[in-house]
Amino acid sequence: MTVDLLTRLEKSMEAYDEPVKWLERLITTTEKREKKHINELATLEAQRAEEVRIAKELRGKIAEAKTAEEDLRRKVSEIEGVAKKNEKGRVGLPSFARRDNRRVEVAFGEESERIRDVGIANGEVTKVRFARAAVDERQNQRIRRTQTDCRVS
């Protein structure tokens, strides 16, 4: 009778150990997934912070370019005003106005190029944000699938 009880005890312990080991493996797997997810989130947060920094920098450059463009337009209109006044007495612009006009044309061309570069950079930031959103969505779907897989198991 005691032998019977001992064998029954051993069998019940073995039967108990199997689900316990399975649960331990499941818990370990889940913990690893959570750690990986936390690391991915930290990486994404760092990337977003970098994007915010770049966006602020680009906004500042855009504001600078707009200010410079306004200044150049003001100078051009001043030079045009001087040219109109001088048309009555002489032909063409006075020499100082011609030099200023050339400087304004060169500076205006440079500022137009800078504005174009800022526009391209804005487009790139938009593309990066769109790609990040797609990656975030894929990761969220993967997380939801793993969560439902864990519940089903």
pLDDT tens digits for the chain (153 residues)? 677 888 888 888 888 888 889 889 988 999 999 999 999 999 999 999 999 999 888 888 888 888 888 888 888 888 777 767 766 555 444 455 455 556 556 666 666 666 666 667 667 777 777 777 777 787 778 877 777 766 655
Q: List the domain range (segments joined by +) for residue 63.
A: 2-152
| Sequence-separated contacts (24+) of 74-79 with Cβ below 8 Å | 75/100, 75/104, 76/101, 76/104, 76/108, 79/104
- Count of domains observed in the chain: 1
Residue 92 zone, left/alpha/beta (φ > 0; ψ -120 to 50; rest): left
DSSP character at residue 153: -
Q: What angle do CA 31, 34, 40 make, to 5 degrees?
A: 145
For the entire predicted model, the pTM comes to: 0.41
CA dist 136 and 131 (Å) reads 9
